[in-house]
Amino acid sequence: MSQEPQDTLPARRSHYRWVVLSTIFVGYVICMADRSNIGTILPMMRGEFEISNFTAGAVSSLFFLGYAISQIPAGLVMGKKGTRTIVSVAILGFAIVTFLIGHTTGALMLLVLRLCLGLIEGATPVGMTSTINAWFPFKEKGTATGVYIASTMLAPIIAPILSTHISSAYGWRQVFIWVSAIPGVIMAVVFFLVVRSHPWQSKHVNKAELDHIKGDSGSAAAAAQDFGDMGILDRIIRLTKAKPFSTNREVLKSWNIWGVTIAYFCMNNVLYGMITWIPSYLHAARGYDVISMGWMSAMPYIGGFVGALLGGVVSDRVFHGRRKPTMMLTALLTAVMMGLLLVTPDNSLLLALVLIFTGFFLNIGWSAFTSIAMNMTTTKTYPFAISIINSGGNLGGFFSPMIVGAVLDLTGNYTMAFSYFVFILVAAFVILFTLREFRPGSRLEVGGKDATSETTASVSSQEPVAAASNR
C-alpha cells in the first residue's frame, strides 16, 4: 500500500503572531507601569514639593494631554510608514524621560516632564493595536486585543506593590529608574528585533500562518456566516449592513467613530481617575498605611486583568464578533460597582471584593472600544479611526484627575468626588445605545472590491498595509 507523500500533508502554522502579541503585552506592561505607580507615590511627591490636590492631579493629567495630542499624528504616520521603528523609538523615549523624572528638582520641572512623557509615549498604543490588527484574523482580533488590554491591568497590580517597597527603602525617585527607565531601554531593543509591522515582513511566519491571518477560509462572506443572527440582541445593538469607511473623510463624518470616542472618553475618566486617586482614597478616607495601601490598590486591577482576558473571548465567541454588548455591560455594571464602593463599610475583605469586581466590570468590555473600529474600517483607514478614538478617549485621563482633585480641594469629600465617576459611566452607557454595530459580511464593494479581499491582496502582493491603536 503506497504511503501519501509527505509534501501533500497540510503545513503546520508557525504561530509567530503569538510571539508578537507576547512582546506587545510585556512592552505595554512596562509603559503602563509609569501611569500605575504615579498614584502610589503622589503622597511622597506632594510631601517634597508641597503641592495642592489640584496640582497633584495635574501631574497625572498633563501626561494624558500630551498622550492625546500625539495620537492622531502617530496614526497618520503609521498608516504610511508602519509601526515597528516608531514604536521602538517611542518606548526608548519613554525610558529616557522617566529617567529624567527620577531626577527632577521641582514641581514645575515635574509637570513639564510629564507632558513630554505623554507626547513621546502616545505612539505606543497606536502602534501596538495597529500591529494586532495586521497580525490577527477577524475571529481572533477580540481575543488578541483582550490580551493587550490585560497588560494595562497587570501593570497596576505589580507597580503599586513594587513602588511602595522601593520608595519606602530607597525613595520615590528610584521607582522611575528601576520600574520604568531600565526596563524601557531593554524593551525598545526587544520590540525592534522581534516585531514587524506586517506578518509578511517576518522570516518567522510561514505560508500556512499567512493564509490563516489573511483569512483564506474566512472571507467577508464566511465572517458574516460566523457572525450569525442573535435576534433581539442585534436589534438592541442596532446591527446594520454598511460599507466600511474607505477614506479618512468618511471616518471623520461618522457618528459611530465620534460616539465611540466620547464613550471612551468617559471610560478613561474612570480608569485614570481611579489609578490616580484610589491610593489616596484608601490612605486618607479608609486609613490604610503605605504598604497596605499598595496591596489594596492592586485589587481593581486583579479583577481588571481577568475581565480584560475574558472580555475579548466573550466578544469573539459568545457574541460572535459583536463588540457593543460588552461595551454596554462594562459601562452599566461599573457604574453600579462604583456606587457600591461609596457605601461599602470599613471591612477589608468586603472592600477588596468590591474593588476587584469594579475592575472586572470596567475591563470586560474595554477591548471592544479598540476592536469595534476594525469592523467599521478597512486596514488603510483603521489607523486614523483608532487614533481619533484613542486621542479623544485619553483626554478623559487628562481631565479626570484634575476634576477629582478640584472637588477634593473644595469639599474634602471622596464620596462627592467619586460620584462623578457614576455620572460619567451612565453617560457612556446612553451614548453607546446610539451607535450602530457593523456586520462584517457587509464589507463588500469598497472601491470596487471586497474589503477583506483588499487586505488579502495587499498581504499577498507584499504591499504595505496600515493598521492601528489604543489605551
pTM above 0.85? Answer: no
Which amino acid is it at 133?
N
The per-residue pLDDT for range 117-151, each reduced to its tens digit, is 999 999 999 899 989 989 998 888 889 999 999 99
Residue 455 pLDDT > 70: no
Q: Quick one: pLDDT band at residue 109, thresholds 50, 70, 90?
A: very high
Phi/psi of residue 280, nearest 5 degrees = -65, -35
Within 8 A by CB and 6+ apart from 1, the residues are none
pLDDT top residue among 165 and 7: 165
Phi/psi of residue 467, nearest 5 degrees = -165, 145
Which amino acid is it at 48?
E
What's the burial of 338, exposed, middle or buried (CB within 10 Å: 0-12/13-18/19+)? buried
Instruction: Please tell me the least confidently modeled range out of 171-175, 181-185, 415-419, 427-431.
Output: 415-419
The mean per-residue pLDDT over the stretch 251-270 comes to: 95
pLDDT at residue 329, rounded to an integer:
96
The mean per-residue pLDDT over the stretch 175-185 comes to: 94
pLDDT at residue 467, rounded to an integer:
35
Instruction: Give the DSSP letter of residue 242.
Output: -
Coil, helix or strand at residue 449: strand
pLDDT at residue 433, rounded to an integer:
93
CA distances from 47 to 56, 61, 115, 163 (A): 11, 19, 21, 16
Residue 454 pLDDT > 70: no
The per-residue pLDDT for range 206-235, each reduced to its tens digit, is 999 998 888 744 444 445 546 778 999 999
The mean per-residue pLDDT over the stretch 264-269 comes to: 94
Residue 239 pLDDT > 50: yes
Q: Quick one: pLDDT band at residue 404, thresholds 50, 70, 90?
A: confident
CA distances from 260 to 33, 386, 432 (A): 26, 10, 7
pLDDT at residue 358, rounded to an integer:
95
Q: Are 208 and 200 in contact (CB under 8 A)?
A: no
Q: What is the mean pLDDT of the chain?
A: 85
Within 8 A by CB and 6+ apart from 225, the residues are 441
The mean per-residue pLDDT over the stretch 276-299 comes to: 82
Q: Are 72 and 15 in contact (CB under 8 A)?
A: no
Q: Quick one: pLDDT band at residue 158, thresholds 50, 70, 90?
A: confident
Locate the domains of the chain by residue range.
16-204+227-460
Residue 165 pLDDT > 70: yes
pLDDT top residue among 126 and 97: 97
Largest distance between two CA atoms of the chain: 88
The mean per-residue pLDDT over the stretch 254-275 comes to: 92
The mean per-residue pLDDT over the stretch 290-307 comes to: 85
Q: Quick one: pLDDT band at residue 15, thresholds 50, 70, 90?
A: very high
pLDDT at residue 57, rounded to an integer:
76
Q: Quick one: pLDDT band at residue 272, thresholds 50, 70, 90?
A: confident
Q: Which of 124, 111, 129 is nearest to 85 (CA)?
A: 124
Percentage of the residues of the chain whose pLDDT score is greater than 70: 89
The per-residue pLDDT for range 43-80, each reduced to its tens digit, is 788 888 888 878 887 887 888 889 889 989 998 888 78
Grid coordinates of 349: 475583605
pLDDT at residue 217, rounded to an integer:
42
pLDDT at residue 401, rounded to an integer:
81
DSSP string, 109-132: HHHHHHHHHHHHHTHHHHHHHHHH
Phi/psi of residue 51, nearest 5 degrees = -115, 155
The fold of the 16-204+227-460 domain, in CATH, is Growth Hormone; Chain: A; (1.20.1250)
Instruction: Please tell me the least confidently modeled range out of 101-105, 138-142, 232-236, 347-351.
Output: 138-142
Residue 390 pLDDT > 60: yes
Within 8 A by CB and 6+ apart from 398, the residues are 61, 62, 64, 65, 67, 68
pLDDT at residue 9, rounded to an integer:
52
pLDDT at residue 102, rounded to an integer:
93
pLDDT top residue among 403 and 469: 403
Residue 3 pLDDT > 70: no
Percentage of the residues of the chain whose pLDDT score is greater than 90: 48
